């Protein structure tokens, strides 16, 4: 730790900052200052292409020494540094490549009591530029609502890293922190409640169950959540990462047992969001693939609640892939249909080059197989039932439409499982291991 370093954030919007030098370092400094809203005055006889692109031409008769001027702009003095160039400046960056010039800039800044960043010699300056990681965090005051579903307002979390005179080390630490912020592995949830604000709801697709298959956006929203309404088939291990004060509501369903009806789930989302809380509805697979996400979206919209839908990796595609089955395959399958096992599947195209994927269909497997045969599918059509995809008891049981119900019963197949019907099953190691041809 450098005891002489006092970390500080500066609000420089609309204030004059002088950048002495015209090379790539000066260009990077000027760009960051413009993004922060500063009025930047560049003093340099020559400037690089990146810096030239930032410089705004002045109107005829305008002077460069008129004070702060317009925020977020860059103007230039096309000459070498001269005494008096730092007048009215709040901050100075010098990056000329000349130790003598940088020292002269630092000396004048010291005399004027203006903080100075010296790129050539950090010890010669009175301020250091940290490596910075930024991430946007959703607020709940609704100020940013807009679009068909609205969206919460947002604030920015900024992490600045200093590492003494070792900027590369600071950058490495910054990059590591940035990655953790982006994936939601660091706590992002605001602690200070929004006064009188409304909350928000995020319908997050959790994928097939493996926590590493959740999107980075989904992880980040979980890290910001105050309430999580969780399904049984979502990546529940992520719940263990939540802070102790996050409210977790389990609405998981099992076959034939729905302890929390969908209407009550909708009401829970609305209730907590109207109370000003950030709510994540953590679902298995994708919210819009037999996830009833559309119903939850409508319920929230009817109460003016901002909703974000975060897609997930659907089990219909990912679980077959987990055991080596592609749902499409050149020469064997040109398309696929996804249904639940609770539906009449007799209307599915009987073409041999069309794959059928059944979700939640274990209990009706015999009826589904019979219906497909009755609608024109060959009884010898390959079938695979994949249990607990990406989970600890993942298993693939294979057979044909004529045999799969008996094979699955003998093997003790149980939900959750995804059933794949079609020639693509022949690609799987399980099919080859069974010696079915």
Mean local confidence (pLDDT), 35-39: 91
Q: Within a domain: residue 2?
A: no
- Give the pLDDT confidence score for residue 138 in this predicted structure: 57
- Give the pLDDT confidence score for residue 237 in this predicted structure: 87
- Give the pLDDT confidence score for residue 137 in this predicted structure: 66
Position 144 confidence tier, pLDDT thresholds 50, 70, 90: very low
- Give the pLDDT confidence score for residue 39 in this predicted structure: 93
Q: Where are the beta strands (DSSP E) in 193-290?
A: 200-205, 227-230, 247-250, 278-283
- 77's enclosing H/E stretch is strand 73-77
Q: What is the DSSP letter of 212?
A: G
Q: What is the DSSP letter of 214?
A: S
Q: Phi/psi at 133 (nearest 5 deg)?
A: -115, 135
Residue 66 predicted with pLDDT over 90: no
Domain boundary among 266, 298, 314: 314
* Rounded percentage of the chain residues whose pLDDT exceeds 90: 57
* Number of structural domains in the chain: 4
* Burial class, 28, CB count within 10 angstroms (exposed 0-12 / middle 13-18 / buried 19+): middle
To the query of whether residue 231 is one of the catalytic residues in this protein, the response is: yes
Domain boundary among 86, 108, 129: 129
Q: Which domain holds residue 408?
A: 317-433
First-to-final CA distance of the chain: 68
Residue 181, both tokens: 């912020």
Cα distance between residue 371 and residue 251, in whole Å: 32
- Give the pLDDT confidence score for residue 162 in this predicted structure: 83
- Catalytic hit among 139, 141, 178, 231: 231
Q: What is the DSSP letter of 257?
A: B
pLDDT, averaged across the chain: 85
Higher pLDDT, 206 or 244: 206
* Burial class, 283, CB count within 10 angstroms (exposed 0-12 / middle 13-18 / buried 19+): buried
Mean local confidence (pLDDT), 279-301: 94
Cα distance between residue 427 and residue 90, in whole Å: 68
Tens-place pLDDT, residues 208-266? 988 889 998 999 899 889 999 998 888 888 888 888 889 999 987 655 555 789 999 99
CATH number (domain holding residue 367): 3.30.950.10
Could you tell me if 175 and 226 lie in one domain? no
Closest listed residue to residue 160, CA positions, set 112, 128, 194? 128
To the query of whether residue 102 is one of the catalytic residues in this protein, the response is: no
Q: Within a domain: residue 187?
A: no
Q: Within a domain: residue 109?
A: yes
Higher pLDDT, 60 or 125: 125
| Cis preceding-peptide flag for 265 (omega within 30 of 0) | no
- Give the pLDDT confidence score for residue 243 in this predicted structure: 83
Cα distance between residue 23 and residue 45, in whole Å: 11
Cα distance between residue 50 and residue 317, in whole Å: 45
User: Would residue 150 be called left, alpha or beta, if left means φ above 0 and alpha means ψ between -120 and 50 degrees?
Assistant: left
Could you tell me if 216 and 275 lie in one domain? yes
Could you tell me if 275 and 378 lie in one domain? no
- Catalytic hit among 50, 88, 253, 353: 253
Could you tell me if 230 and 157 lie in one domain? no
Alpha-carbon distances of 379 from 102, 327, 329, 352, rounded to whole Å: 83, 19, 21, 11
Q: Within a domain: residue 28?
A: yes
Residue 149 predicted with pLDDT over 80: no
Tens-place pLDDT, residues 349-397? 788 889 999 998 898 999 999 999 999 999 999 999 999 999 889 999 9
Could you tell me if 173 and 226 lie in one domain? no
Could you tell me if 64 and 149 lie in one domain? no
Closest listed residue to residue 205, CA positions, set 286, 143, 111? 286
Mean local confidence (pLDDT), 17-46: 93
- Give the pLDDT confidence score for residue 193 in this predicted structure: 57
Could you tell me if 121 and 137 lie in one domain? no
Could you tell me if 299 and 328 lie in one domain? no
Alpha-carbon distances of 421 from 252, 350, 351, 379, rounded to whole Å: 28, 11, 12, 11
Residue 197 predicted with pLDDT over 80: no
Could you tell me if 365 and 299 lie in one domain? no
The total of other beta-carbon atoms located within 10 Å of residue 127's CB is 18
Mean local confidence (pLDDT), 115-142: 78
């Amino acid at each position: 730790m450098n005891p002489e370093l006092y970390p500080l954030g500066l609000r420089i919007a609309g204030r004059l900052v002088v950048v002495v030098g015209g090379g790539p370092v000066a260009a990077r400094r000027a760009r960051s200052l413009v993004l922060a809203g500063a009025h930047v005055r560049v003093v340099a006889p020559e400037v690089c292409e990146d810096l030239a692109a930032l410089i705004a031409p002045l109107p005829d008769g305008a002077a460069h020494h008129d004070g702060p001027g317009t925020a977020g702009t860059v103007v230039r003095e096309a000459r070498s540094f001269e005494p008096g160039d730092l007048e009215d400046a709040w901050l100075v960056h010098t990056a000329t490549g000349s130790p003598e010039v940088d020292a002269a800039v630092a000396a004048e800044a010291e005399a004027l009591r203006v903080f100075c960043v010296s790129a050539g010699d950090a010890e010669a300056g009175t301020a250091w530029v940290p490596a910075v990681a930024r991430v946007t965090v959703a607020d709940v005051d609704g100020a940013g609502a807009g679009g068909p579903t609205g969206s919460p307002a947002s604030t920015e979390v900024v992490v600045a890293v200093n590492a003494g005179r070792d900027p590369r080390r600071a950058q490495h630490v910054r990059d590591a922190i940035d990655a953790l912020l982006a994936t939601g592995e660091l706590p992002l949830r605001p602690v200070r409640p929004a006064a009188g604000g409304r909350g928000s709801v995020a319908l997050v697709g959790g994928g097939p169950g493996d926590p590493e298959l959740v999107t980075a956006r989904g992880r980040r929203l979980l890290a910001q959540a105050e309430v999580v309404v969780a399904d049984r088939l979502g990546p529940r291990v992520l719940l263990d990462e939540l802070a102790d004060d996050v409210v977790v509501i389990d609405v998981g369903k099992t076959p034939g047992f729905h302890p929390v009806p969908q209407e009550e789930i909708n009401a829970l989302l609305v209730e907590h969001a109207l109370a000003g809380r950030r709510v994540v509805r953590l679902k298995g697979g994708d919210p819009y693939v037999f996830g009833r996400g559309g119903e939850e979206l409508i319920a929230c919209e009817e109460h003016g609640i901002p909703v974000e839908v975060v897609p997930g990796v659907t089990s219909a595609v990912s679980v077959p892939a987990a055991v080596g089955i592609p749902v499409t395959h050149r020469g064997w399958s040109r398309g696929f249909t996804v249904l639940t096992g609770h539906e009449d599947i007799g209307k599915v195209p009987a073409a041999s080059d069309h794959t059928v994927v059944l979700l939640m269909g274990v209990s009706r497997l015999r009826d589904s197989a019979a219906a497909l045969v009755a609608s024109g599918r060959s009884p010898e059509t390959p079938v695979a039932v994949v249990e607990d995809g990406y989970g600890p008891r993942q298993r693939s049981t294979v057979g044909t439409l004529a045999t799969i119900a008996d094979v699955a019963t003998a093997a003790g197949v149980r939900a959750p499982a995804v059933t794949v019907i079609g020639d693509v099953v022949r690609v799987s190691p399980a099919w080859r291991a069974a010696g079915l041809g």
